[in-house]
Chain A
């Protein structure tokens, strides 16, 4: 039996406006209390309110599924707004129960090819074997005996995404963190829209398959004769999804191998092909017995300007030095720090960025970086990043490319910390 997902706009509105009322109520409670609290207690009380708001926000997001879960995933990477146990709930969401029943699946495939699904493929498994970001994947065999992975999405989904985002924005506006959250929602919208464009994804797969030639990395072939903008058919890639693989494999050497490959894929993609997977989801890395990695989700690939890439590279190299001027120049050239900022703020920001640069540079200090030994590496980075959040309002002109890249890279590092691996971060591109 399906959970009741409020898909009609009216019931969705009720859901998020209920939430807005709840959150609004919280803020008001805060404001009434405030004058009577000492400064420390005020901060403490605000933190409590923030946590409460986060809980309410998350519970509502969980009800709205799809779009909203994506927003929550990105939120959790970006900020500390969501508490740890919610983040763990999110982990589970990577393997959601597919929401489309067999009747719906039949309808989607049949109408995509204008004939009954039984006439398109030799066999087609109406029950999905994997969940995809906004859809699910089915196994099929064609007339030539080839085993295929057919990805499908819920009908009419782009309209759902737009209306979801609009509603979430309405709910987020009264919140204290709205300046932080609203741009994130815009991002979520573009990420999701990109992920529902299967034609674009097919393009991405072809691109990577032909250019990313690395040992230990496998990518699918696209079958255009069985693909439409709403149905993407690829060759079947074998392997176990990374989070499941991690729960079954403890050998440190194996884990190091896998992590190293993941890191190398990122470097090769970014510096070699000028493109990255802009949302590394552990569910999309399939590990085989020979420890090779199968890449299966190319829904959101971001490409970068070569000039940006060379500046970024310089930024990393300059990160270890104390050369404040050089660093400041780079940050401005990359549009990360605006020259129009008040000098006091500008100074503080550059200082913070230098701190981040130094923190990041610890990764390159030794030939191999041990995430288990440096167990507070991520924590340290978070602390500095948090301080930067205070200047969020000054980031209106911040380079979105940088944000994207930063978040992807940071996501990978967090994954490595979770895996507790030792890998070589030093590379010829950045050192």
Chain B
């Protein structure tokens, strides 16, 4: 029986939701694929059409959450008028807001998922790719309106933001303050610093210094070496030519 794409998405969502419930109730280790499919109202065998393992469901959850984030951001009318920092901050705050309902699930699965060995890196790659796509978007539009300079090390900086994101979520998961205000303050202050540096083009400046040093000093040294090499070549040539 062929089912619609719509139905497929719905099933996928149900499975993930069911896994979240069961993990919150017990933990990932004790939840079985069978239990998850039962709780989701899906046939035992069918669940494997969607996810090969229960870990895969967890990865699926995190990947879906980024799509959800994009939808939420799009619903904010004024977002496009925000400054670069305000946009970044809103993305992070909204992400946490979306995580709030599933906080317990995250407490049991987040660290294990993202502090991973390189062999499992392939599983995280699609999740990270979504994050990177959002960041790229924000950087691109900020550069377009000349709010920030073109960043020489953009990929590196976004990589830094990924690590920062992981850190913030873990901080948030341990935050016991009212309305998670301490995390809000952390994000506000660190974004200040990060965005000031980006705006000031510090990365670029460091790059410029590097180029300067390279050109003036290292290349210069290499000229000397080159001269020596030429001399040696000359001698060798003469020798070989029997002069």
Spell out A's residues near B (CB within 8 Å): 1-2, 4, 7-8, 101-104, 106-108, 110-112, 116, 118, 126, 154-156
Interface size bracket, B side:
20 to 34
Residues B179 and A7 in contact, CB atoms below 8 Å apart: no
Of B2-10, B75-83, B160-168, the stretch lying at the interface with chain A is: B75-83
Residues A110 and B97 in contact, CB atoms below 8 Å apart: yes
Of B12-20, B120-128, B180-188, the stretch lying at the interface with chain A is: B180-188
Residues B76 and A104 in contact, CB atoms below 8 Å apart: no
Residues B89 and A101 in contact, CB atoms below 8 Å apart: yes
Q: List 8 A-B contacts (CB under 8 A).
A: A4-B193, A101-B83, A101-B188, A103-B93, A104-B184, A106-B93, A107-B90, A107-B97
In the complex, which residues of chain B have a beta carbon less than 8 angstroms from the beta carbon of A106?
A: 76, 90, 93
* B54 contacts chain A at the CB level, 8 A cutoff: no
Spell out B's residues near A (CB within 8 Å): 75-78, 82-83, 85-90, 93, 97, 177, 179-182, 184-185, 188-189, 192-193, 196, 199
In the complex, which residues of chain B have a beta carbon less than 8 angstroms from the beta carbon of A110?
A: 97
- How far, in whole Å, are A397 and B77 apart by their CA atoms in the complex? 58
In the complex, which residues of chain A have a beta carbon less than 8 angstroms from the beta carbon of B185?
A: 7, 154-156
Q: A118 → chain B, closest Cβ, in Å?
A: 7
Q: B86 → chain A, closest Cβ, in Å?
A: 4
Residues A155 and B192 in contact, CB atoms below 8 Å apart: no
Residues B78 and A8 in contact, CB atoms below 8 Å apart: no
Contact of B184 among A2, A4, A102, A107 (CB under 8 A): A107
In the complex, which residues of chain A have a beta carbon less than 8 angstroms from the beta carbon of B75?
A: 116, 118
Contact of B93 among A107, A112, A118 (CB under 8 A): A107
Residues A103 and B85 in contact, CB atoms below 8 Å apart: yes
Residues B89 and A104 in contact, CB atoms below 8 Å apart: yes
Residues A2 and B192 in contact, CB atoms below 8 Å apart: yes
- How far, in whole Å, are A116 and B71 apart by their CA atoms in the complex? 13
- How far, in whole Å, are A156 and B180 apart by their CA atoms in the complex? 9
Residues A102 and B82 in contact, CB atoms below 8 Å apart: yes
Q: A101 → chain B, closest Cβ, in Å?
A: 5
Q: Counting chain B CB atoms within 10 Å of each CB, which of A1, A103, A106, A116 scores highest?
A: A103
- How far, in whole Å, are A126 and B90 apart by their CA atoms in the complex? 13
In the complex, which residues of chain B have a beta carbon less than 8 angstroms from the beta carbon of A1?
A: 196, 199
- Contacts A102-B82, A118-B76, A156-B182 given: A8-B90 contact, CB under 8 Å? no
- How far, in whole Å, are A7 and B188 apart by their CA atoms in the complex? 10
- How far, in whole Å, are A2 and B193 apart by their CA atoms in the complex? 9
- How far, in whole Å, are A103 and B78 apart by their CA atoms in the complex? 11
In the complex, which residues of chain A have a beta carbon less than 8 angstroms from the beta carbon of B182?
A: 155-156
Residues B97 and A103 in contact, CB atoms below 8 Å apart: no
In the complex, which residues of chain B have a beta carbon less than 8 angstroms from the beta carbon of A7?
A: 185, 189
In the complex, which residues of chain B have a beta carbon less than 8 angstroms from the beta carbon of A101?
A: 83, 85-86, 89, 188
Residues A112 and B76 in contact, CB atoms below 8 Å apart: no
- Contacts A111-B179, A156-B181, A156-B182 given: A104-B97 contact, CB under 8 Å? no
Residues A4 and B181 in contact, CB atoms below 8 Å apart: no
Residues B87 and A103 in contact, CB atoms below 8 Å apart: yes
Residues B82 and A118 in contact, CB atoms below 8 Å apart: no
- How far, in whole Å, are A236 and B93 apart by their CA atoms in the complex? 29
Q: Which residue of A lies closest to B179 (CB)?
A: A111
- How far, in whole Å, are A2 and B78 apart by their CA atoms in the complex? 21
Q: Counting chain A CB atoms within 10 Å of each CB, which of B85, B88, B179, B180 scores highest?
A: B179
Q: Which residue of B lies closest to A229 (CB)?
A: B178
- Contacts A110-B97, A155-B184, A156-B185 given: A103-B179 contact, CB under 8 Å? no
Given A106-B93, A107-B90, 10 new contacts (CB under 8 A): A4-B193, A101-B85, A102-B78, A102-B82, A103-B89, A107-B97, A111-B184, A118-B75, A118-B76, A156-B185
- How far, in whole Å, are A154 and B181 apart by their CA atoms in the complex? 9
- How far, in whole Å, are A354 and B25 apart by their CA atoms in the complex? 75
- How far, in whole Å, are A2 and B185 apart by their CA atoms in the complex? 14
Residues A103 and B196 in contact, CB atoms below 8 Å apart: no
- How far, in whole Å, are A119 and B151 apart by their CA atoms in the complex? 37
Q: B88 → chain A, closest Cβ, in Å?
A: 8
Q: Which residue of A lies closest to B85 (CB)?
A: A101
Residues B77 and A155 in contact, CB atoms below 8 Å apart: no
- How far, in whole Å, are A104 and B177 apart by their CA atoms in the complex? 17
Residues A8 and B189 in contact, CB atoms below 8 Å apart: yes
Q: B13 → chain A, closest Cβ, in Å?
A: 22
Q: Which residue of B lies closest to A112 (CB)?
A: B179
Residues B189 and A104 in contact, CB atoms below 8 Å apart: no
Q: Which residue of B lies closest to A111 (CB)?
A: B179
Q: Which residue of B lies closest to A107 (CB)?
A: B93
- How far, in whole Å, are A250 and B35 apart by their CA atoms in the complex? 80
In the complex, which residues of chain B have a beta carbon less than 8 angstroms from the beta carbon of A112?
A: 179
Per CB-CB distance, the 4 closest pairs between chain A and chain B, nearest first, are A103-B89, A155-B181, A156-B181, A103-B90
In the complex, which residues of chain A have a beta carbon less than 8 angstroms from the beta carbon of B88?
A: 103
Residues A104 and B181 in contact, CB atoms below 8 Å apart: no
In the complex, which residues of chain A have a beta carbon less than 8 angstroms from the beta carbon of B87?
A: 103
Q: Which residue of B lies closest to A230 (CB)?
A: B179
Q: A126 → chain B, closest Cβ, in Å?
A: 7
Q: A102 → chain B, closest Cβ, in Å?
A: 5
Q: A116 → chain B, closest Cβ, in Å?
A: 8
In the complex, which residues of chain A have a beta carbon less than 8 angstroms from the beta carbon of B93?
A: 103, 106-107
In the complex, which residues of chain B have a beta carbon less than 8 angstroms from the beta carbon of A104?
A: 89, 184, 188
In the complex, which residues of chain A have a beta carbon less than 8 angstroms from the beta carbon of B184?
A: 104, 107-108, 111, 155-156
Q: B160 → chain A, closest Cβ, in Å?
A: 19
Q: Which residue of A lies closest to B83 (CB)?
A: A101
- How far, in whole Å, are A7 and B180 apart by their CA atoms in the complex? 17
Residues B179 and A155 in contact, CB atoms below 8 Å apart: yes
Q: B45 → chain A, closest Cβ, in Å?
A: 40
In the complex, which residues of chain A have a beta carbon less than 8 angstroms from the beta carbon of B196?
A: 1-2, 4
In the complex, which residues of chain B have a beta carbon less than 8 angstroms from the beta carbon of A154?
A: 185
- How far, in whole Å, are A2 and B84 apart by their CA atoms in the complex? 13
- How far, in whole Å, are A7 and B97 apart by their CA atoms in the complex? 24
